[in-house]
Amino acid sequence: MAIQKGNFIKLNYTGKFDDGKVFDTTDEELAKAEEIFNPRGLYGGDVVIVGAGHTIQGLDEDLEGKEVGYSGSVEIPPEKAFGPTDSRLIETLSVTKFEDRKVYPGMKVEIEGKRGVVTRVIGRRATVDFNSPLAGQTVTYEYTVEAVLEEDVEKIQGLLALYTGLRGMEVEVEDEIAKISIPTDLTFNQRWLMAKNRVGTELFEYVALKEIQLIEKLFPEPHISEEAIEEALAEVETEAKVEEAPNAEEPEEAEN
């Protein structure tokens, strides 16, 4: 059966620049070999909804019409990948703006909540490019369609994994009512707090559900470590700083 919009599929992929350098992959060993491994990432394949914008536009469009087991590649121009370079995001600043006064080309910086790279230094002025490192790039994705998911529980678990980084969350579906048990570790997870409404919207659109119940379970003994709480609070603080900064982009996240 040919893949169409709305299908839940399991997808393995590797994204490369024109020079062959890998910038994104679902292959853990390849990520380590290319030194782009993210210990908080989810490897082994992503579950995505075709046509829902879970991948870049060029890849999303190329998935339609393929069959399970298909392996191939697609070259994607900037306008259907990570966007063109925006000249408005290239700024010339005084070196007094930098905490480290030894400013040099190639230096990664964060100023007023915006992340960028120094591209040129002349005297006491530095040019900083705040565009995403992927902007303006033509990229190639090699991918394999592993499966089309048919069971509602698998679909919901796959979508939750995409947004939370957690596989195999406890899910029950009966009479078009989905009951999702939320792990304690997600209580302070800023990523989940920001994404759960979108998850609900997509589940109602693409799965035959009339109700979603998010169930938080509490126990007599705490199940969250102090380290996890501190990390979550730090994440919230970072998000707040970025939101306050003018023209700020969201903090970069690895694709995995």
Q: Please enumerate in sequence order all residues whose Cβ is within 8 A of that of 111, keeping only pairs 6 or more positions apart, or say none.
A: 93, 97, 98, 128
Q: Domain 1-83+138-150 is of which CATH architecture?
A: Roll (3.10)
- Does the pTM surpass 0.75? The reply is yes
Confidence at 249, pLDDT banded by 50, 70, 90: very low
When mean pLDDT is compared across 52-56, 91-95, 228-232, 250-254, the lowest value belongs to 250-254
Q: Domain 87-129 is of which CATH architecture?
A: Beta Barrel (2.40)
Q: Residues 3-36, buried b or exposed e (16+ Cβ, 10 A)? A: beeebbbbbbbbbbeeeeebbbbbbeeebeebeb
Round to whole Å and give the CA distance between 5 and 238.
35
Sketch the domain layout of the chain as residue ranges: 1-83+138-150, 87-129
Predicted confidence at residue 238, as pLDDT, reads: 52
Partnered with residue 148 across adjacent β-strands are 9
Terminal-to-terminal C-alpha distance of the chain: 28
Mean pLDDT of 23-48: 95
Give the chain's mean pLDDT. 87
Partnered with residue 113 across adjacent β-strands are none
Upper half-sphere CA count for residue 162 (Cβ side, 13 Å): 25
Which residue type occupies 83? G
Tens-digit pLDDT profile for residues 147-196: 999 999 999 999 999 999 899 999 999 999 999 999 887 877 888 888 99
